[in-house]
Chain A
Amino acid sequence: MLAVPTACPFCSCGCGFHLLAREGQLSGVAPSQTHPVSGGQLCARGWSAHEAALWGDRLRQPLLQRDGKQESVSWDEALDYVAVRLKQLLAAGKPVGVLGSARATNEENYLAGKFARVGLRTNNLEFSYYSVCAPLLAGVEEVCGTSAASLRLTDIASSQVILLIEGDLAETHPRAAGSVLRAVENGAHLITIGCRETQLARVSSLHLQTTPGSEDVVINGLLDAIADLQRSRLSVSVGNNACLQDPETGKETAALCQAAEWITRAERAAFLIPASCGQGDQPRKIAAAVATLAAATGHWNNPGSGVLPLLARSNARGACDMAVVHDRLPGYERLEDSRSRQRLENLWGKKLPSAQGWDAETLLQSVSGLVVVADDPPSVVPIGQEAMTALGRLEFLVVLDAFATPTARIAHALLPISSFAETEGTFTNMEGRVQKLRPATNPPGEARHGWQVLAELCVRFDAAASYDSAADVLREIGQAAPQYAGIERHLAADGWSGVLLQNPGNGKSGAHPASTTRAESQTSAERPFLLARDPAFDWGSDPLVSFSPTLSRDYRAQRKAFPSGFVEIGKNDADALALRTGRQVKLTSMDGEAVVPVLVTKDLQPGLLLVPYAFRDRVSNVLRNDSVAAVRIERV
């Protein structure tokens, strides 16, 4: 039995474990007590991490679409054909683009970026999950000068106060949730802000109910309370009437005063922010408000304290750092930054395209030719099935993936690459820990490493790419992205713990964000309910889950039982409307209507309907381009 230490491919906590293999075939997972993030513990996904690579519908041979059917061809034929077709599109002046991925390695993403910018001479470059996490990163960056985490995962357990914008951390980031439980056991005050009474809300010291998209109202209330506290230097506690003000205005209440006091007094405070939903610019404002709170209380970058943006997918941070983002360069530096451009141009020996590229959604709907690396955009981008329609309209779609995803199945050219279990490369977790992936088995069939395939494509487009190993690519990344300088050497030395990137931020204490409108104000007598799209990442559509027999059970069963999706409704509302699970309702917003079954849940507050991300297409008429809308609900 072979035990190969590697990094977990699921969420961005970046746990470490051993992949077990027998006779060249994956067979299981063994924990690692010495890993700094996981310390011998794993979540359900981690314990079954070997399954998708073993049981999944794996791509084994290069395929080209002929007469509507994908037929296997040789690697040379496939790569040559891809080059010819993309060059034809370029010559015809048609737009082309590249989508990297938050589940691809740094090496793959870096080369995808190089291929787009040097080979295809375009900034039409993005990764699908960026359309979900960009507002979160922008909000933190606006306040802190960087979107990088200033809190380490290992700091959470010893925090004295944890402020959690609660989606459902126990489900999205079980490792982080475990550390939160440990902190609470040790006596920390956990403050949760959210619209449902989740597991962590139930164990919290204080749960502040809010509606989706208006978390910042509570946070701004907290900021006011903290400002008062800092001015008066008085100790307050619940019951102090001076602090009780009108709850309707979101102003200070006893609860806010209590929370303010905990945060102000704490030496070590953790601020955990997931991607949130909300109308228009709200998700960015929510993230900025939390970061402001951390900065205003001196917790932004104090040892043991800080802000942790909770990214869903394993290498979302790495994809940002490798800049598979239309307006960024490696190091997540701005495209217009002339020093960065110069550095890249010197390194790549080519002039960089200067025209602005498109973000993922625009790109999908605007290009004629597209290269997708290790992703299934329709399951990730908010526009869902519209993205599938856009992919279907492309003149030429190239997909590099290990798994037969819906996107891969319609590709004109399909290039099979190794999965995380067979590849060499690195992931960067959400706290900035760069970790090595190590192959436990060989890739199936003729599949090659993603970095090799992308390097071959680069060469066909006159972009220098001569690498003997993934480590060679990483060495070049060290020259392209300043935080990664010398990374290949450091990784070789530090090994199992990975390398923690230095935080480049300045933590300029943010100004008090402008006051915000409350989402409730948009509900009315006519449309008294608020429908929100649950921002929690849909793991059920991710091949790492959907191809795992153990992990996909829940999702498969749910999708079979609710083929037309569902929206969640609280028990009290359901009783008042005489609704039971499975009962169809009609939802009507300003924009349109949809008929969809309900699922009655215990932990949702009154007046709220939540649609799981997986089922967002079912209510796209109602939500349109937003993630929150006021609706009327009727039994049908």
Chain B
Amino acid sequence: MAFALEKKAVAGWLERLLKLGEVIAPTRSPTGDVLFSNIRSGSDVAWDLPNPLHPPKEFVLPQTDPLVQIKGNGQHHEVEAIHDSRRRFLVNARSCDVKGIAFLSRMHEMEPADASYLRRSNNLTIISVACPTPCPSGFCICTDSGPFLNDSYDAQLTDLGESYLVEVGSAKGEAAVAEGQGLFRRASDDEVSQRKRLEETAKRHFGDETCHFGAAMRRISTGRVPDALWEKMSDWCLECGGCNVICPTCYCFSVKDLARDGAWVRCRLRDSCQYAAFTLEASGHNPRPEKKDRMKRRFFHKVSAQYYTRDGAVGCVGCGRCVQVCLGATHMPAVVAAIRKGSWHE
């Protein structure tokens, strides 16, 4: 079911959502950066900003995620779960990030389900905006995660000039649209076909920044990437872990207790499979001692057929963030290209 919403009515709708919970959208910070942050009024959303470099997974899987509080009580300890059940609306998110959070949710819904994550994601309504033009380093067309979506969103907006076409994809999306009662109208057939045309145009605009996963997947899945190539590529990685931090689909973590006022807060900390001690055993043995081993592991998880079969998607949504944050040169498109060609920088 598709609706239409006049642009001048959007602020009013967001005002109503603000009464229900936090509304998060890309905003321009004083440094000139674009960051996802809480907005205070419905007119605070700048719709034409580029996608923030720091992904919105921060709102379902924060870098420091308090899970339980442990209090000493005489001879015993009391353990109490920490609940973040705030209702949040993520507005003006891009298709890639919608797919990223859908990927994270599939992972965290698997048994044993992750209650802490699901509490946040179940309370998060994503109102995304389809991309009429690809972003400079994005390649979502190669990962089935944009520029327009046919699933995974709660509500997807398409810019039609004076108004937005609003597609509802879930009960949460329906509830959000219901809050805007009186502001929405049924979309006309013409508006729906206009959206289709925009999608076709957007797809045609993808240029060189594409990523050919198919060939890479065949080679990675069958162990046909020579060790020498991993070794060579690893000389171009500086082990910053930035690719993991900003990847919308990365979720690896470690656990650590934070002492606070005589109690402990057990936290999940975002971690990186590229760090040397990520797989270090208590014995002192490290199954992935070399950087090339860790790189191989990362790309096996992201691109192999084994994981594709399990997850139904490659572990990449084509947002292009790793292209921007990689301190070295081993971001997703570069490594996929090297695997496909069988050579690096040649």
A33-B53, A34-B31, A40-B324 are contacts. A549–B254 as well, Cβ < 8 Å? yes
Contact B29 A170 (CB under 8 A): no
Contact A47 B238 (CB under 8 A): no
A28-B62, A47-B245 are contacts. A40–B258 as well, Cβ < 8 Å? no
Query: In the assembled complex, which residues on chain A have CB atoms less than 8 Å from the CB atom of B29?
Result: 3, 5, 18
A41 closest partner in B (C-beta): B327
Contact A181 B238 (CB under 8 A): yes
- Asked if A203 CB lies within 8 Å of chain B CBs, one says yes
The stretch among B33-41, B97-105, B116-124 that forms the contact with chain A is: B33-41
The stretch among A299-307, A507-515, A550-558 that forms the contact with chain B is: A550-558
Contact of A177 among B35, B37, B238 (CB under 8 A): B238
Query: In the assembled complex, which residues on chain A have CB atoms less than 8 Å from the CB atom of B324?
Result: 33, 40-41
A44-B241, A47-B245, A54-B258 are contacts. A32–B236 as well, Cβ < 8 Å? no
Contact of A3 among B37, B246, B270 (CB under 8 A): B37
The stretch among B183-191, B197-205, B275-283, B294-302 that forms the contact with chain A is: B275-283
Contact B32 A28 (CB under 8 A): no
A23 closest partner in B (C-beta): B66
- Asked if A222 CB lies within 8 Å of chain B CBs, one says no
- Asked if A22 CB lies within 8 Å of chain B CBs, one says yes
A3-B37, A202-B235, A549-B256 are contacts. A35–B31 as well, Cβ < 8 Å? yes
- Asked if A95 CB lies within 8 Å of chain B CBs, one says no
A30 closest partner in B (C-beta): B54
Query: In the assembled complex, which residues on chain A have CB atoms less than 8 Å from the CB atom of B269?
Result: 51, 549-550
Query: In the assembled complex, which residues on chain A have CB atoms less than 8 Å from the CB atom of B35?
Result: 3, 18, 30
Query: In the assembled complex, which residues on chain A have CB atoms less than 8 Å from the CB atom of B241?
Result: 44, 47
Contact A44 B64 (CB under 8 A): no
- Give chain B's interface secondary structure class: loop
- Asked if A209 CB lies within 8 Å of chain B CBs, one says no
- Asked if B329 CB lies within 8 Å of chain A CBs, one says yes
Contact B258 A20 (CB under 8 A): no
Closest chain A CB from B335 CB (angstroms)? 14
Interface residues of B in 28-68 (CB under 8 A from A): 29-33, 35, 37-38, 53-54, 58, 62-64
- Asked if B143 CB lies within 8 Å of chain A CBs, one says no
Contact of A181 among B33, B64, B242, B328 (CB under 8 A): B328
Q: With A and B bound together, what is the CA distance between A44 and B245 in angstroms?
A: 10
Query: In the assembled complex, which residues on chain A have CB atoms less than 8 Å from the CB atom of B254?
Result: 549-550
Residue count of chain B within 8 Å CB distance of chain A: 42
- Asked if A1 CB lies within 8 Å of chain B CBs, one says yes
- Asked if A163 CB lies within 8 Å of chain B CBs, one says no
A174-B240, A181-B329 are contacts. A20–B235 as well, Cβ < 8 Å? no
A174 closest partner in B (C-beta): B238
Interface residues of A in 44-63 (CB under 8 A from B): 44, 46-47, 50-51, 54-55
A18-B35, A31-B325, A42-B242 are contacts. A181–B53 as well, Cβ < 8 Å? no
Interface residues of B in 254-289 (CB under 8 A from A): 254, 256, 258, 269-272, 275-277, 280, 284
Q: With A and B bound together, what is the CA distance between A543 and B241 in angstroms?
A: 21
Contact A27 B63 (CB under 8 A): yes
Q: With A and B bound together, what is the CA distance between A54 and B325 in angstroms?
A: 24
A43 closest partner in B (C-beta): B240
A29-B63, A181-B236 are contacts. A175–B284 as well, Cβ < 8 Å? no
The interface centre, meaning the residue of B246, B269, B284, B327 with most chain A CB atoms within 10 A of its CB, is B327
Query: In the assembled complex, which residues on chain A have CB atoms less than 8 Å from the CB atom of B38?
Result: 1
Contact A28 B53 (CB under 8 A): no
Contact A554 B276 (CB under 8 A): yes
Q: With A and B bound together, what is the CA distance between A1 and B52 in angstroms?
A: 15
- Asked if B154 CB lies within 8 Å of chain A CBs, one says no
Contact B280 A553 (CB under 8 A): yes
Contact of A27 among B62, B236, B275 (CB under 8 A): B62
B59 closest partner in A (C-beta): A1
A22-B62, A27-B64, A32-B31 are contacts. A557–B327 as well, Cβ < 8 Å? no
Closest chain A CB from B203 CB (angstroms)? 27
A31-B325, A34-B31, A42-B327 are contacts. A26–B277 as well, Cβ < 8 Å? no
Query: In the assembled complex, which residues on chain B have CB atoms less than 8 Å from the CB atom of A496?
Result: 30-32
Contact A203 B236 (CB under 8 A): yes
Query: In the assembled complex, which residues on chain B have CB atoms less than 8 Å from the CB atom of A185?
Result: 329, 345
- Asked if B326 CB lies within 8 Å of chain A CBs, one says yes
Q: With A and B bound together, what is the CA distance between A28 and B63 in angstroms?
A: 5
B62 closest partner in A (C-beta): A27
Contact A43 B327 (CB under 8 A): yes
- Asked if B239 CB lies within 8 Å of chain A CBs, one says yes
The interface centre, meaning the residue of A16, A44, A185 with most chain B CB atoms within 10 A of its CB, is A44
Q: With A and B bound together, what is the CA distance between A44 and B239 in angstroms?
A: 7
Q: With A and B bound together, what is the CA distance between A495 and B242 in angstroms?
A: 25
A42-B325, A557-B280 are contacts. A170–B238 as well, Cβ < 8 Å? yes
Contact A44 B240 (CB under 8 A): yes
Closest chain A CB from B334 CB (angstroms)? 10
Contact B275 A44 (CB under 8 A): yes
Q: With A and B bound together, what is the CA distance between A285 and B269 in angstroms?
A: 46
B258 closest partner in A (C-beta): A55
3 interchain residue pairs of minimum CB distance: A28-B63, A553-B277, A30-B54
- Can you report 10 residue pairs joining A to B where beta carbons are below 8 Å apart? A22-B62, A31-B325, A41-B327, A47-B240, A55-B256, A174-B238, A203-B235, A553-B277, A557-B284, A561-B284
Residues of B within 8 A of A (CB): 29-33, 35, 37-38, 53-54, 58, 62-64, 235-236, 238-242, 245-246, 254, 256, 258, 269-272, 275-277, 280, 284, 324-329, 345
Given contacts A28-B63, A55-B256, 4 further A-B contacts (CB under 8 A): A30-B58, A40-B324, A41-B240, A41-B327
